[in-house]
Structure 1
Amino acid sequence: MRLELVVQKHSGTITDRPGAALAALAGAQFTVMLATSIVNVALPQIRSGAGLSDGGTTWVVNAYGLAFGALLLAGGRAADLLGGRRVLLAGLALFGASSLAAGLASTPEVLIAARAVQGLGAAAVAPAALALLMALFPPGPGRGRALGVWGAVSGAGGAAGVLLGGALTQAWGWPWIFHAVAGGTALVLGGVAVAVPAAALSGAEPATPSGARPSRRARFDLPGTVSVTLALTALVWGLTGARRSGWADARVLGALALAAVLLVVFALIERRHPHPLLPPRLFTQARVGAGNALMALLGSVWIALFFFLPLHQQQVLGSSPLVTGLGQLPLAGAIMLGSASAPRIARRIGPTATVTAALLAEAGGLLWLARISTDGGYLADVLGPSLLIGLGLSVAFVQLTALSVEGVPRTDAGLAGGLVNTARQTGGAVGLAVLATVAGSVTAHAEDSGRPHMEALTAGYRTVFGISAAVLMVTAALALLLALRAGRRPLPLPLAHTS
């Protein structure tokens, strides 16, 4: 598709290659999402190859998610203060180097540390790339199409991670999943350096009436950044620990209590700081609060889907890692189709109806998936629901991303990008922890009742998919309620604009 010439009036930036810039920024987001899921299928091979214990294997996933989720707000603010392009390039360099280190790791400690640093790089990349996209594509159809591409690569990255993880692990071994990410990151880094204008979201502040420019150092909220980062770290650590040890574990309860205390401390700091990390204007000038709340609920289902669906394919259907990955291709295709169609659908039926219909479509797909059985198969149980889920997920993601960042001042664009990614990641951590606990409990109860292991596993997965559908139905109802409370008019998403 052709994207029009992008003119950024505030900074004087003009790029006559919007397609190349969009491809580079979308590539950065795709790489981050790919790294989130590419290890899932390869975990058994990573465990045996790297000499990991059960707990260590879990931390190959958790170390990345923990650093990523906890540092997103800090990464977004860094993009606002230091410049989006500069932070994006630095984040990509760190991300690529740590990916290479993970592939070369010879000890469990090095592998887990490399994954944590990889998460740190991702926390810089994701909000900076989204802020640059918003800066380069002003409100209107051009931004709508750009966000459609953004949604396509975000969803497809998760599905592609499962496919590549299975293929690379089966062909050359688990280190190549990290080598592939490192190589792809190097290509994206070069693309950003060439295609994204140097002045885009440079971090320069507008002059005051006296002609002076405010100090970036004075605007940085170090106490708020430290407190919220530690709070998110404790929260995500507690939630991931709950998946393994249960909600009654003392360490889990302690981590969650610490997170609650630190969040209170953060709120007190923000009330007193002259330049808070989360300024009130971020929530009063746009629909940031509503968008992030809905995105957190969507994320709670999204991340769990990409966790449980491959498990069902391998553990119950008996698929190999490669076949499991290939089975994600229809889901990825549906995600790309839905993301590309989202702006057109919103213009035709309105953004509120689009969000609601998309969430209900995804819920319908999950209810369909909740009918899986031990004697079923991919074509009978997985293919149809995957297509419906992919379409609904992608359309909802594009619309909610737009809602979460539309109307935000350019000086807060990186922070808004970090906030929506934090909402999705934190919602995903909460959802996955709760659903994993539920699935384990249902499976254990079924086995205690004398049911065969495969039937018990299937019962757990059916329960998870059914609960996920219920969460999405509630999310759809909330979207309608928020639209009514906004003045009985549709949610003002930019994708509904016709000019």
Structure 2
Amino acid sequence: MAVVQFMVSLDLSVVNVGLPRIGAGLGFSAPGLTWVIHAYALTFGGLLMLGGKVADRYGHKRVLLLGLPLFGLASLAGGLAQEPGQLVAARAVQGVGAATLAPASMALLISAFPSGRERVRAFGVWSATNAAGAALGVLIGGLLTQYAGWRWVMFVNVPMVAVAFAVAWRGVAADRSVARRGRPDVLGAFLATAGAALLVFGVVSTDRHAWTSPATLGTLAVAAALLAAFVVVERTTARDPLIRLGLLANRSVAGANAYTLLLGAAMTSAFYFVSLYLQGVLGAGPARTGIEFLPFALGVVVGSVLAVRLGYRLAPRTLLVGGGLLTAAGFGWFGLISADGSFLADVLGPSVVAGIGIGVCLAPATSAATAGVARHETGSASGLLSSSRQIGASLGLAALGTVAHDRTGRVATPAALDDGYSLGMAVGAGLLVVAVLIALVVLPRTRASSGAAAAPLAD
């Protein structure tokens, strides 16, 4: 399960450093290149809840053993892609595989270690590999891109899939009990994913069509209709719904998900802009870029440790406000990057500040998202939070990427690129300020609870 989680977490960040060479190798346009990230994040986030329902109904080990080959074959296909559409399609299928693997692996871990010190140790290993996958993704991606070629950021998953499949086949016990409450709501998952994808497509396509053009307005209208249909289906379906909508009446759940949506939007955009700034403006190679991302990743680790220590004395709401402000300050500092800057002067300081802020936010958001939720719905609440982060990542990158592209213009000189990236980072800082306001206004005042901030993340 640790190998599976490392792989799923790795793929959220491993392609970032390779994006410039992926774009050059396959002929992506600047806005089109963001779909390498969108395709994975949208299918992962949109189908995550369905993946959990399917695993509960048909068996966690069975779903895991089906999801692993799907993920591996999609990674292989992505590495062999010869044109942009092929890579985007492969990334989308990777997201489908990840949406089955993440909830199934978590459930199997809980089943194998139900209580006691072994459970604490198991979740410690699982959480460490989860964080390591996200943190090391940019470093691994940079080294592979420079010394083996960008295709290896996709191929790297194949041996990990093989190892995980062999160990799971022989070493993971079959499920002792499987939920049979009703058939999973496939229609609802399709409507949510398709609606979010069309919303992102409508925003990204504004580089070719004006916001008021029939093409843009029509796309956004269809996206809104699909998302509205999703709400209707969730309220009326005879199947097992993806999410009980009444859960969002809980102020803590609603506030934490809105906060996480904005955090995911700003955080993913920051990774994207900083990677392109280091390579396209400062001229760093992929390997050096991966190394220069390490302060950002280490900052997240430091912030996560602080969140655990402070979580025994401070309420999640307080930590979310403080962490959000710290992250906003880091992104605002990034907004001051210059075309003739350097890593030490323009990147190191804001990387550390923003990384620590993000780390402080992650676990308290999970704690707030499950506060006051009935025990049998904590899995749904946790899955909803993970979906919010992934969908927020895609929507945020679409919006901020479009803003940056519009500022850059058609002549992509280093100075023009710098203008676009700095504006995108400044807007990301604004999103974090809005997130802090949501935490202050929506989240209820609660006292700190022992260990609350240490709750493991579902993704």
TM-score tier (shorter): 0.7 to 0.9
Answer whether contact 1:203 1:411 (CA < 8 A) is retained: no
- CA change 1:250–1:411 in 2 (3 A) is farther
- Matched residue, 2:273: 308
After superposing the two structures, state which structure 1 stretch, 257-266 or 111-120, moved more.
111-120
CA distance in 2 between counterparts of 1:252 and 1:325 reads 36
SS in 2 for 1:36: coil
The structural deviation recorded for 1:55 is 7.8
- Matched residue, 2:357: 392
SS in 1 for 2:360: helix
CA distance in 2 between counterparts of 1:476 and 1:146 reads 33
CA distance in 1 between counterparts of 2:313 and 2:118 reads 17
Q: Is 1:489 aligned to 2:449, yes or no? A: no
The structural deviation recorded for 1:377 is 0.7
CA distance in 2 between counterparts of 1:182 and 1:66 reads 22
- Matched residue, 1:95: 71
- Matched residue, 1:64: 40
Q: Which of 435, 438, 458 is residue 475 of structure 1 equivalent to? A: 435
The structural deviation recorded for 1:366 is 1.4
CA distance in 1 between counterparts of 2:119 and 2:437 reads 27
Aligned residue pairs total 454
1:69-218 paired onto structure 2 within 5 Å: 69-105=45-81, 110-130=86-106, 156-190=132-166, 198-199=174-175, 204-205=178-179, 215-216=180-181, 218=182
After superposing the two structures, state which structure 1 stretch, 28-37 or 100-109, moved more.
100-109
The structural deviation recorded for 1:95 is 0.9
- CA change 1:250–1:144 in 2 (3 A) is farther
CA distance in 2 between counterparts of 1:443 and 1:461 reads 8
Q: Is 1:238 aligned to 2:202, yes or no? A: yes
The structural deviation recorded for 1:89 is 3.7
- Matched residue, 1:18: none
Matched AA of 1:453: T
- CA change 1:182–1:156 in 2 (3 A) is same
- CA change 1:108–1:263 in 2 (3 A) is closer
- CA change 1:472–1:135 in 2 (3 A) is farther
The structural deviation recorded for 1:473 is 2.1
The structural deviation recorded for 1:460 is 2.2
CA distance in 1 between counterparts of 2:417 and 2:31 reads 21
CA distance in 2 between counterparts of 1:79 and 1:349 reads 36
CA distance in 2 between counterparts of 1:405 and 1:278 reads 14
After superposing the two structures, state which structure 1 stretch, 129-138 or 299-308, moved more.
129-138
Q: Is 1:437 aligned to 2:397, yes or no? A: no
- CA change 1:125–1:491 in 2 (3 A) is farther
Q: Which of 418, 430, 437 is residue 458 of structure 1 equivalent to? A: 418
Matched AA of 1:122: A
CA distance in 1 between counterparts of 2:126 and 2:364 reads 11
The structural deviation recorded for 1:309 is 0.5
Deviations 1:114-172 (A, max 9, x none): 22211210122234445556777889999999888777655653443322222112112
Report the RMSD for the aligned CA atoms in angstroms.
3.6
CA distance in 2 between counterparts of 1:491 and 1:66 reads 34
Q: Which of 305, 318, 332 is residue 353 of structure 1 equivalent to? A: 318
- CA change 1:140–1:399 in 2 (3 A) is farther
CA distance in 1 between counterparts of 2:382 and 2:127 reads 14
Answer whether contact 1:62 1:240 (CA < 8 A) is retained: no
SS in 1 for 2:193: helix
Identity of aligned residues (%): 41
- Matched residue, 1:363: 328
- Matched residue, 1:324: 289
- Matched residue, 1:254: 218
- Matched residue, 1:295: 260
- Matched residue, 1:15: none
Q: Which of 16, 23, 43 is residue 19 of structure 2 equivalent to? A: 43
SS in 1 for 2:243: coil
Deviations 1:258-290 (A, max 9, x none): 121122222222322344332245446794322
CA distance in 1 between counterparts of 2:317 and 2:116 reads 17
- CA change 1:194–1:308 in 2 (3 A) is farther
After superposing the two structures, state which structure 1 stretch, 34-43 or 187-196, moved more.
187-196
The structural deviation recorded for 1:242 is 4.1
Higher alpha-carbon Rg: 1
Matched AA of 2:295: P
- CA change 1:272–1:427 in 2 (3 A) is same
CA distance in 2 between counterparts of 1:183 and 1:270 reads 39
**Structure 1: where are the runs of 5+ without partners?**
1-23, 206-214
Q: Which of 221, 228, 240 is residue 264 of structure 1 equivalent to? A: 228
Answer whether contact 2:327 2:432 (CA < 8 A) is retained: yes
Matched AA of 1:179: F
- CA change 1:378–1:51 in 2 (3 A) is closer
The structural deviation recorded for 1:426 is 1.7
- CA change 1:422–1:51 in 2 (3 A) is same
CA distance in 2 between counterparts of 1:203 and 1:291 reads 32
The structural deviation recorded for 1:305 is 0.7
- Matched residue, 1:225: 189
CA distance in 2 between counterparts of 1:116 and 1:203 reads 31
1:324-343 paired onto structure 2 within 5 Å: 324-343=289-308
The structural deviation recorded for 1:306 is 0.8
After superposing the two structures, state which structure 1 stretch, 228-237 or 343-352, moved more.
228-237
- CA change 1:401–1:198 in 2 (3 A) is farther
Deviations 1:71-105 (A, max 9, x none): 22322322333344443343233112221232234
